[in-house]
Amino acid sequence: MSLGRTVKLNNGVIVPQIGYGTWQAAPGEVEKAVEEAIKVGYRHIDCALVSSPFHSWYCLTESLIFVGNRSTVATGIKASGVPREELTLVSKLWNNSHRPEDVEADLDLTLKQLGTSYLDVYLIHWPVAFKPGKDLFPKDSSGVVQLDESAEKGGPSIVDTWKELVRISKETEKVKAVGVSNFTVEQLKKVIDATGVTPAMNQIELHPSLIQPELFKFCNDNGIIITAYSPLGNNITGKPRVIDHPEIKKIADRLGKSPAQVLIAWVAKQGFVVIPKSVTPARIKSNFEDFELSDADLEEINKVGLANQVRSNIPYEYETSWPVDIFGTPEEKGQVKAF
């Protein structure tokens, strides 16, 4: 069983520390997986109106729920028998709806699809605005994603998007807290400095092979809760996963745990929220059986990770490339800076 740990956001909203996601799950798997996760004990479900970077499927959740299946999260929740008020639902604003006039409509659509009147947390998914419209991945003739260039001409910027999320949180009962995802320190400073409102959460790729001390410190100093997606690493762009590292397996064997359990505990030990992915019942259950790592174990895992640092989720490297520099990596060099 889970240790039942929670974190408190900067506006007082309580979020379970271990959440559930089914990123890259195939169509037809999600409903049963969500039902199983809730029955096991998960009370935090992470959602987003997004698409797979490699496919044209339309999906719902950081769990990639594909077109036609978006209501299966709601179906899974209903089938579990657990009341909505006992769950924490987190969702995200997709990149084609960043203009202020589009934000609330996008939120309303998400609420309708999830069968709920409110979200516990609503995040800006990426600090990148696509060309607005119905196409989630608008592309030019060369197949590259088209960005919304209006901000460069004095039009709405990410700051305006953030202002609209803040307005919704203050003027309606549709969201309890608002935050961001995939934001760097520079990007966080920009929205905070412009509005005086600090995001409650920053959801980022986080695992021992992507330790980000500057970002960790900034979020901690400013009361921003970090949520770790891909806590086991991922091979979304063909890069090695930390869960497959021999030293992580050795540590897990010594502790009598699975590598996944060790990596989830590594995230939780630092006070971060973690949303592991699985649609396999046994793994869904195993991932929820967290435990407390010792300080020595934490340092040992840190050493393994620091020797093998890699960022897997870089949109410029997607099959449908985003021509933007979000993280300042060598791979993104020469692209338009995010914002």
- Ranges of residues in the chain whose predicted pLDDT is under 50: 51-69
Tokens of 193: 């400095």
Annotated ligand binding at 125? The verdict is yes
| Fold designation for 17-334 | TIM Barrel (3.20.20)
Active-site residue (options: 20, 42, 58, 229): 58
118 is catalytic: no
The domain ranges of the chain are 17-334
What per-residue confidence (pLDDT) applies to 50?
A: 62
107-145 per-position pLDDT tens digit: 999 999 899 999 999 999 999 999 999 888 999 999 999
- Cα distance between residue 59 and residue 326, in whole Å: 23
pLDDT of residue 59: 35
Measured in degrees and rounded to the nearest 5, phi and psi for residue 15 equal -125, 130
Q: Which residue has the tokens 């100093």?
A: 221
Question: Residue 263, CB half-sphere, CA atoms under 13 Å: how many?
Answer: 31
What pLDDT is stored for residue 305 in this prediction? 94
Task: Kindly give, in sequence order, each residue whose CB lies less than 8 Å from that of residue 49, ignoring residues fewer than 6 positions away.
Answer: 60, 91, 92, 93, 94, 97, 106, 109, 110
Q: Tell me, what's the pLDDT at 26?
A: 61
